[in-house]
């Protein structure tokens, strides 16, 4: 399970803000800048695209994405400026820049990590906004005070076909916060030898599509589908694609515990049959790789079977990864798009939870880093496999003391793989978690009665308040760390809808900071560190491809209705312990601010079917189930 540490609470350095989801692409503008300032000749292209939606007659919201290409002298810092044509247009939250607005004038200034822009380099930044009356696009931009020249319209991106992910049950991690009142030191992964490839032959890497979800259908797990359809109203979502979880060695051949009786080859064979019946549309099947030694070192509900001290790393390679790679490389599966979700809740623990013995052992032994690197190298060698590495969520890594160090650790770990950073096709956030996709009613950069939103108890000085803004900003940080600029992000939206009668319809009118935030946020948890079987949660956005800039897909990796962990201790042979964060009577710990857990009662072991949870998720779905 993930830890959700708070970090750097006393610091108020201005950083990146937040993005929002968009639904209808409306247009773009491009400005070409050519001029000379006292310090550098500024020549650049600025492309401005928007996706707009209506919240009520005559008003709504929008997401603006800007691409700035530097065709002039290299810049060491930058300021982008423009003026809204309509005085009722407002920036509410932004990313990859420090955003400010005075009247209709908007300024975006560089962050510490993206101020240096070489000649020919491109910047991607944007913001979420609101409008009233109309939402015309700005027609003029400035870069470092130099006014842009002509404006050339350019078409807005249109949404790609929506695929679905692929299914399967199993336990899934979620965070249990671990506060760090002062900045965590940047992790320096212990040097360890590069993992050597297994002697078993695998195909040479072949061409991969840019986005394995685009234009594809998602594999529907018949076991999960049957469980969903057996619930009242469940047939409405029973054909949605969910992920297959390989949470222990036995699951490779016999399926995971809970409602999945099939092994990996069984599911791949069924996906081939689905592909054959699909005509020319490809099938994407998602497989969660989840069995590192000392797995989930900061929690108990989904601890694994392998231990570092018991030859766990070698067993992970030879008994777990090698058999998976051998099955996936079978030529009869060559036409499938196989998405590997690599090791939920692993690497972030090495940044935030080294105060725990099991995490310290995983770090000192190199087991997490070497294990992930080995998995990346072996799976990347199969031409139709796409590796997406787990990257926590905003309530875990959103503080700067966790944000940068995590990106660095992901980079050094991927560099150990056979094939290096190219083995990573993208990253996934919010896996099996509940963080809201978008918080529409307040901005992380806003204030209430003179007090910063960031200083509220809920936000706790985090730089992000929702998952979309975090994923988009973290993608840019990962690119800075040397990953390909073509990497895409996935966001698990299986349980982050937070609909139903408790969902706020607008911002609070309270002038008390904490009351305002608590009554305005759509994420109804009492603390972002609560991760187990959350009361009040609902199904989130349905799986689809290319939903927002930099996002390959919204996915349902955690199959809705599968428990996060048991409410009470249950004897089992699956290596799963009892975590008090799944106990609704527990008063919490320092990692969730000593708050109630918000967990549902009468929950079974992680990965097992939990009917009451599924019915709640269905009832509280947002967008609602039609």
Say what the pLDDT of residue 444 is.
Answer: 95
Please name every residue paired with 109 in a beta bridge, in sequence order, or none if there are none: 79, 98
Q: Which range, 60-64, 147-151, 191-195, 514-518, has the best average confidence (pLDDT)?
A: 514-518
Helix or strand run (H / E) with residue 367: helix 367-380
- Where do runs of H (alpha helix) occur along 94-173? none
Are domains 24-153 and 217-619 of this chain identical in fold? no
- Whether the CB-CB separation of 427 and 379 falls below 8 Å is answered with no
Say what the pLDDT of residue 8 is.
Answer: 34
78-87, 164-173, 454-463, 616-625, range with the lowest pLDDT: 164-173
Say what the pLDDT of residue 570 is.
Answer: 92
Q: 3-state SS of the chain: helix, strand, coil percent to 5?
A: 25, 20, 55
Tell me the CATH number for domain 24-153: 2.60.40.290
Say what the pLDDT of residue 129 is.
Answer: 86
Say what the pLDDT of residue 160 is.
Answer: 36
Q: Given a cut of 70, is residue 188 above it in pLDDT?
A: no
Query: Structure tokens of 121?
Result: 């380099």
Looking at per-residue confidence, does 319 or 196 come out higher?
319
Say what the pLDDT of residue 63 is.
Answer: 84
List the catalytic residues: 345, 564
Mean pLDDT of all residues in 140-168? 51
Mean pLDDT of all residues in 254-263? 64
Say what the pLDDT of residue 526 is.
Answer: 94
Tokens 């609101």 sit on residue? 130
Q: Which range, 148-152, 254-258, 519-523, has the best average confidence (pLDDT)?
A: 519-523
CA nearest 2: which of 530, 600, 387?
530
Burial pattern 81-103, b for ≥16 Cβ within 10 A else e, equals bbebeeeebbbbbbbbbbbebee
Domain extents for the chain? Answer: 24-153, 217-619
- Whether the CB-CB separation of 145 and 136 falls below 8 Å is answered with no
Q: Given a cut of 90, is residue 55 above it in pLDDT?
A: no
Say what the pLDDT of residue 409 is.
Answer: 97
Mean pLDDT of all residues in 184-192? 34
CA distances (Å), origin 212, targets 375, 426, 551: 19, 11, 12
| Euclidean distance between CA atoms 444 and 432, whole angstroms | 24
CA distances (Å), origin 286, targets 196, 328, 451, 597: 26, 12, 44, 30
**pLDDT tier, 254 (very low <50, low <70, confident <90, very high otherwise):** confident
**pLDDT tier, 300 (very low <50, low <70, confident <90, very high otherwise):** low
For the domain made up of 217-619, the CATH class stated in words is alpha beta
Q: How many CB atoms lie within 10 A of CB 217?
A: 21
**pLDDT over 90 percentage in the chain:** 63
Q: Given a cut of 80, is residue 137 above it in pLDDT?
A: yes
Q: Given a cut of 60, is residue 164 above it in pLDDT?
A: no
**Mean pLDDT estimate for the chain:** 83
Phi then psi for residue 320, to 5 deg, are: -120, -65
Say what the pLDDT of residue 256 is.
Answer: 55
**pLDDT tier, 57 (very low <50, low <70, confident <90, very high otherwise):** confident
Predicted structure pTM score: 0.70
CA distances (Å), origin 251, targets 245, 323, 343, 346, 610: 8, 11, 15, 19, 20
Using one digit for the tens of pLDDT, what is the confidence trace for 192-231? 333 334 444 444 445 799 999 999 999 999 999 999 999 9
| Euclidean distance between CA atoms 562 and 296, whole angstroms | 18
Q: How many CB atoms lie within 10 A of CB 205?
A: 15
Say what the pLDDT of residue 32 is.
Answer: 44
Q: Given a cut of 60, is residue 174 above it in pLDDT?
A: no
Say what the pLDDT of residue 576 is.
Answer: 76
> How many helices (H) and strands (E) are present in the chain, helices listed first?
13, 22
Say what the pLDDT of residue 260 is.
Answer: 54
> What CA dihedral angle connects 142, 146, 149 and 152, to 10 degrees?
-30
- Where do runs of H (alpha helix) occur along 97-221? none
**pLDDT tier, 6 (very low <50, low <70, confident <90, very high otherwise):** very low
Looking at per-residue confidence, does 166 or 522 come out higher?
522
The three-class DSSP label of residue 497 is coil
Supply the DSSP symbol for 399.
S
**pLDDT tier, 149 (very low <50, low <70, confident <90, very high otherwise):** low
Using one digit for the tens of pLDDT, what is the confidence trace for 435-494? 999 999 999 999 999 999 999 999 999 999 999 999 999 999 999 999 999 999 999 999
Say what the pLDDT of residue 140 is.
Answer: 87
Mean pLDDT of all residues in 6-19? 31
Peptide bond into 623 cis (omega under 30): yes
| Euclidean distance between CA atoms 517 and 439, whole angstroms | 10
Mean pLDDT of all residues in 137-150? 79
Q: Which range, 7-16, 131-140, 422-431, has the best average confidence (pLDDT)?
A: 422-431
Tell me the CB-side half-sphere exposure of residue 310, using CA atoms within 13 A: 8
| Euclidean distance between CA atoms 429 and 478, whole angstroms | 13
CA distances (Å), origin 560, targets 170, 216, 453, 502, 611: 10, 22, 32, 20, 10
Say what the pLDDT of residue 40 is.
Answer: 58
Q: How many CB atoms lie within 10 A of CB 315?
A: 17
**pLDDT over 70 percentage in the chain:** 82
Residues 6+ apart with CB under 8 A from 523: 434, 435, 436, 439, 466, 496, 498
**pLDDT tier, 27 (very low <50, low <70, confident <90, very high otherwise):** very low
Q: Given a cut of 60, is residue 79 above it in pLDDT?
A: yes
Say what the pLDDT of residue 148 is.
Answer: 62
Say what the pLDDT of residue 588 is.
Answer: 82
Q: Given a cut of 70, is residue 187 above it in pLDDT?
A: no
| Euclidean distance between CA atoms 512 and 507, whole angstroms | 13
């Amino acid at each position: 399970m993930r830890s959700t540490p708070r970090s750097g609470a006393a610091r108020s350095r201005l950083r990146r803000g937040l993005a929002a989801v968009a639904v209808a692409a409306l247009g773009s503008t491009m400005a070409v800048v050519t001029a000379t300032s006292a310090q550098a000749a500024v020549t650049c292209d600025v492309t401005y695209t928007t996706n707009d939606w209506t919240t009520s007659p005559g008003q709504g919201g929008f997401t603006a994405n800007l691409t700035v290409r530097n065709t002039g002298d290299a810049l060491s810092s930058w300021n982008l400026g423009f003026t809204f044509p309509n005085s009722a247009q407002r920036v509410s939250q932004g990313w990859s820049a420090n955003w400010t607005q005075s009247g209709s004038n908007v300024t975006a200034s560089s962050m510490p990590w993206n101020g240096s822009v070489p000649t020919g380099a491109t910047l991607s930044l944007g913001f979420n906004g609101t409008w009233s009356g109309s939402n015309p696009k700005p027609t003029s931009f400035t870069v470092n005070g130099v006014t842009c020249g002509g404006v050339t319209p350019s078409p807005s991106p249109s949404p790609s076909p929506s695929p679905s992910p692929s299914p399967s049950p199993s336990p899934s991690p979620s965070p249990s916060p671990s506060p760090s009142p002062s900045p965590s030191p940047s992790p320096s992964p212990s040097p360890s030898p590069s993992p050597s490839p297994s002697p078993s032959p695998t195909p040479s890497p072949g061409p991969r599509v840019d986005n394995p979800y685009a234009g594809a259908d998602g594999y529907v797990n018949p076991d999960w589908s049957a469980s969903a359809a057996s619930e009242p109203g469940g047939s409405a979502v029973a054909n949605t694609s969910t992920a297959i979880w390989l949470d222990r060695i036995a699951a490779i051949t016999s399926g995971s515990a809970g409602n999945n009786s099939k092994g990996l080859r069984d599911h791949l064979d069924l996906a081939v049959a689905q592909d054959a019946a699909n005509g020319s549309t490809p099938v994407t099947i998602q497989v969660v790789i989840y069995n590192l030694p000392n797995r989930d070192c900061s929690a108990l509900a989904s601890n694994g079977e392998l231990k570092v001290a018991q030859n766990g790393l070698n067993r992970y390679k030879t008994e777990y990864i090698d058999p998976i790679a051998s099955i996936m490389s079978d030529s009869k599966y060559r036409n499938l798009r196989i998405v590997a979700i690599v090791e939920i809740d692993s690497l972030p623990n090495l940044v935030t939870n080294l105060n725990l013995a099991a995490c310290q052992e995983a770090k000192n032994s190199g087991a997490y880093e070497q294990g992930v690197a080995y998995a990346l190298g072996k799976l990347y060698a199969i031409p139709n496999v796409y590796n997406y590495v787990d990257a926590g969520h905003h309530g875990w890594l959103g503080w700067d003391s966790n944000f940068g160090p995590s990106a660095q650790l992901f980079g050094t770990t991927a560099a150990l793989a056979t094939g290096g950073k190219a083995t990573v096709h993208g990253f996934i956030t919010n896996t099996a978690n509940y963080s809201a996709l978008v918080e529409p009613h307040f901005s992380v950069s806003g204030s209430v009665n003179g007090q910063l939103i960031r200083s509220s108890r809920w936000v706790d000085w985090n730089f992000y308040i929702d998952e979309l803004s975090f994923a988009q900003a973290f993608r840019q940080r990962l690119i800075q760390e040397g990953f390909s600029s073509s990497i895409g992000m996935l966001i698990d939206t299986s349980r982050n809808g937070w609909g139903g009668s408790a969902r706020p319809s607008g911002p609070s009118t309270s002038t008390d900071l904490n009351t305002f935030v608590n009554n305005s946020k759509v994420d109804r948890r009492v603390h972002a560190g609560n991760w187990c079987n959350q009361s009040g949660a609902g199904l989130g956005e349905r799986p689809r491809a290319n939903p927002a800039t930099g996002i390959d897909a919204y996915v349902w990796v955690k199959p809705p209705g599968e428990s996060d962990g048991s409410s009470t201790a249950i004897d089992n042979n699956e290596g799963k312990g009892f975590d008090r964060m799944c106990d609704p009577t527990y008063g919490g710990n320092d990692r969730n601010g000593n708050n109630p857990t918000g967990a549902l009662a009468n929950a079974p072991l992680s990965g097992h079917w939990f009917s009451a949870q599924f019915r709640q998720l269905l009832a509280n779905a947002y967008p609602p189930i039609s």
